[in-house]
Amino acid sequence: MSVSFRSERPNRLSPEAHRSLTEAAQRDPERYWLDEAARLSWVNAPTRAIDSEHGWFADGTLNASVNCLDRHLETRGEQVALIWQAEDASHVVHMTYRDLHAQVCRMANVLKAQGVGRGDRVAIHLPSVIEGIVSMLACARLGAIHVVLFGGFSAEAIADRLADSGAIVVITANVGRRGPKRIPFKATMDAALALRPDSLKVTRVFVVSVTDDQVPMQEDRDSFLSGLMDASSTECAAETMASNDPLFLLYTSGSTGKPKGVVHGTGGYLSWASYTHEIVFDHQENDVFWCTADIGWITGHSYVVYGPLSNGATILLFEGMPSSPAPGRWWEVLQTHKVTTFYTSPTAIRALMREGDDIPARYDLSTLRVLGTVGEPINHEAWAWFNDVIGQKRCALVDTWWQTESGGILISPVPGAVLEKPSSATLPLPGIQPVLLDEKGAPLEGPAEGVLCIDGAWPGRALTIWNDDALFQTTYLKPYPGHYFTGDGARRDEDGYYWITGRVDDVINVSGHRIGSAEIEDALSCEHAIAESAAIGIPHDLKGQGLVVYVVANETADPDVQKLAVSVIASKVGRYAVPEKVYVVPDLPKTRSGKTVRRLLRKIACGETNGFGDLSTLADPEIVPVLIKIVQGHG
Ligand code: PRX
């Protein structure tokens, strides 16, 4: 019997509804996901959900920008879709769905005039300005694949991603504002484009003028966007895309040094962003949804743009920083715009918590209903502060676990349905089947700790890695055959709740930013003065994890190796990946087969001096006391 869960479901799930959805999804996933697909507006509605060969909703066709804009015009054309709060408190823009639709069409027409069409890649490199969202949706409208590049990437990191994606057009800004500072977006992009022109396909650079700052423009390549948009039509027909046509690529870090362009499709991804935004954030009419993530990360894609806009929500985009010009800025923004739903990172909460309870106490936070965190585990103290001081003990608090590759949230409390336990991501969303495996890959039952994998399929899962499907297979599907490997470890308690314990691969999570050990080590290996290196993560009070790098110098006792390592990382990866500490050491602890023993490096960096276990498997156990001395001496 087919049941339409969607029509029967109240907006806020009860515990029983959550249970019955979970059971229904287990009983008949095909039916369940097909029903969920009905939340989207399709040109041709899919008749199939899961097809291991052809992907999600394989015979469905749709357009993502139509789902985020056009279909709302009749019912909510005059509703505010986007509130943009500038760095300057007096500068606010309210855009209705009709306004946003018009701007997206204008931008799409500008891109189209440049020859951008289905399947072309367009790189978006912008600060938190409206044009970021408009550009993403304009690409989606044309069937072009957007590649949003984080503003913190260095020129080299940008060049790598432009080359790998084969982007033909770039959208950037003259500068970004960061308090009184100016971030040189255009200059960084110019440097990236000059780095290896032969491997890049970019022929056109569109520039958003965020401020009056002048930047050099290269004639016949660079144009300011606003004049072109003003001269363009506010109508632009949307391309009809197949459900599994890529909607975007987003680069993330993994165990290999090379950046991975995670590919998300259209129908599966969008239905997942919409489903999870609705149930996890208990989405209601008149909500004002504020996700503080940058659009350069997956959280920005799914919960600034696609989830909330596909559900017809009002989103808030803030240009500035949490405590600029003074502590309390975020709370002021929250109060001014009557935010109901606030989604941010544990690192931000820890930093704000340090400013003291009296700062948020000055603001009216009574409109808040749901608070969320993402990107890293949230410690008890930060959870309690968020809950008590910001949520005033009356808000739902959702600790959402997911990743770039999952497209949207997988494990999280659901307001009204799942009781929270501080610092636990709690239970899988209906339709998600986590499994814990032991080191041999055998599933563990009941309360246990192991490697976190996901069984079965869900619509939001990435399609592949751009240009490298083999890497997709080896990273996610081959380590534990029959299961999707998340790269995380987790513990399951007696209530079936999940507690994420952190990465089990060589990925380091600094303030919610994923940094691959290999990414750092590869960058350093290009330097002649550096023979070898190892990057590891250690616990950090504010950032969750701090990055520590051990470097073996080629010329011993070169006093500048430390500085060199920092500058190489800043220029090859980006300033966000600059390590807390760099230790210059004579050698790394290795097994006899030459594998670096990171476990030891972590313990030593944490200040441990004994309890290292059996060192007899090391090629040179004598290196251990030497490393301890260097680390301790370094203070
Ligand atoms: O280790 C997990 C951690 O962040 C990783 C995913 O990073 P990224 O792809 O950059 O996506 C971040 C935003 C979804 C995961 O593999 N992580 C994410 N959320 C949580 C978390 N760790 C613990 N608790 C969470 N709620």
Confirm or reject: Cβ of 452 under 6 Å from ligand 1.
Answer: no
Q: DSSP states of 293-319 as a string?
A: --TTSHHHIIIIIIHHHHTT-EEEEE-
Strand partners, 181: 178
ipTM of the complex: 0.99
Atom number in ligand 1 closest to CA 411 = 26
95-239 classified as CATH 3.40.718.10: no
Segment 588-617 mean pLDDT = 91
Confirm or reject: Cβ of 87 under 6 Å from ligand 1.
Answer: no
Atom number in ligand 1 closest to CA 500 = 23
Confirm or reject: Cβ of 503 under 6 Å from ligand 1.
Answer: yes
**What does the alpha-carbon distance between residue 557 and residue 560 come to, in Å, rounded to a whole number?**
9
Segment 207-234 mean pLDDT = 97
Quote the tokens at residue 155: 């020129």
Do 177 and 184 form a contact (C-beta atoms < 8 A)?
no
- What confidence score (pLDDT) does residue 6 get? 36
The domains spanning 1-68+265-435+446-459+467-503 and 511-632 adopt the same CATH topology: no
pLDDT of 145 strictly over 70 = yes
Q: How many whole angstroms from 151 Cα to the centroid of ligand 1?
A: 20
Angle between helices 97-113 and 130-142 (to 10 degrees): 60
- Spell out the residues 6+ positions from residue 465 whose beta carbon is closer than 8 angstroms to its own: 260, 261, 262, 263, 471, 472, 475
Strand partners, 503: 488
Segment 593-604 mean pLDDT = 92
Terminal CA-to-CA distance of the chain, rounded, Å? 67
pLDDT of 10 strictly over 60 = no
Confidence of residue 241 (pLDDT cuts 50, 70, 90): very high
pLDDT digits (tens, 9 = 90+) for 193-218: 999 899 999 999 999 999 999 999 99
- What confidence score (pLDDT) does residue 2 get? 32
Do 136 and 300 form a contact (C-beta atoms < 8 A)?
no
- Spell out the residues 6+ positions from residue 385 whose beta carbon is closer than 8 angstroms to its own: 349, 353
Confidence of residue 12 (pLDDT cuts 50, 70, 90): confident
Quote the tokens at residue 109: 């027409």
pLDDT digits (tens, 9 = 90+) for 533-545: 999 999 999 999 9
Pocket test for ligand 1, best of 374, 453, 511 (most atoms within 8 A of CB): 374
pLDDT digits (tens, 9 = 90+) for 52-93: 888 999 999 999 999 999 999 999 999 999 999 999 999 999
Number of Cβ within a 10 Å radius of residue 622:
10
> Which of the two residues, 43 and 5, has the higher pLDDT score?
43
Atom number in ligand 1 closest to CA 399 = 26
Confirm or reject: Cβ of 61 under 6 Å from ligand 1.
Answer: no
Q: Taking the domains of the chain in order of start, what are their residue ranges?
A: 1-68+265-435+446-459+467-503, 95-239, 511-632
511-632 classified as CATH 3.40.50.11810: no
Classify domain 1-68+265-435+446-459+467-503 at the CATH class level.
Answer: alpha beta
Do 434 and 454 form a contact (C-beta atoms < 8 A)?
yes
Burial pattern 520-533, b for ≥16 Cβ within 10 A else e, equals bbbbbeebeebbbb
Do 618 and 595 form a contact (C-beta atoms < 8 A)?
no
% of the chain residues with pLDDT over 70: 97
Helical H segments across 143-223, by residue range: 155-165, 185-195
Q: Which of 121-130, 593-602, 607-616 has the lowest mean pLDDT?
A: 607-616
Segment 357-375 mean pLDDT = 97
Q: How many whole angstroms from 505 Cα to the centroid of ligand 1?
A: 13
DSSP 239: P
Quote the tokens at residue 536: 């590891």
Which pairs from 204-207 meet CB under 8 Å and 24+ separation?
204/114, 204/168, 204/169, 204/170, 205/169, 205/170, 205/171, 205/172, 206/110, 206/169, 206/170, 206/171, 206/172, 207/172, 207/173, 207/174
Find the Cα–Cα–Cα–Cα dihedral 623, 624, 628, 629, rounded to 10°. -40
Q: CA 326 → CA 182, 321, 355, 359, distances in Å?
A: 18, 10, 11, 10
Segment 420-441 mean pLDDT = 96
Nearest CA, atom 12, ligand 1: 375
Which DSSP helix (H) or strand (E) runs through 535?
Answer: strand 530-540
- What confidence score (pLDDT) does residue 87 get? 94
Confirm or reject: Cβ of 222 under 6 Å from ligand 1.
Answer: no
- Spell out the residues 6+ positions from residue 93 whose beta carbon is closer than 8 angstroms to its own: 82, 83, 84, 86, 130
Q: pTM for the full model?
A: 0.95
Nearest CA, atom 21, ligand 1: 376
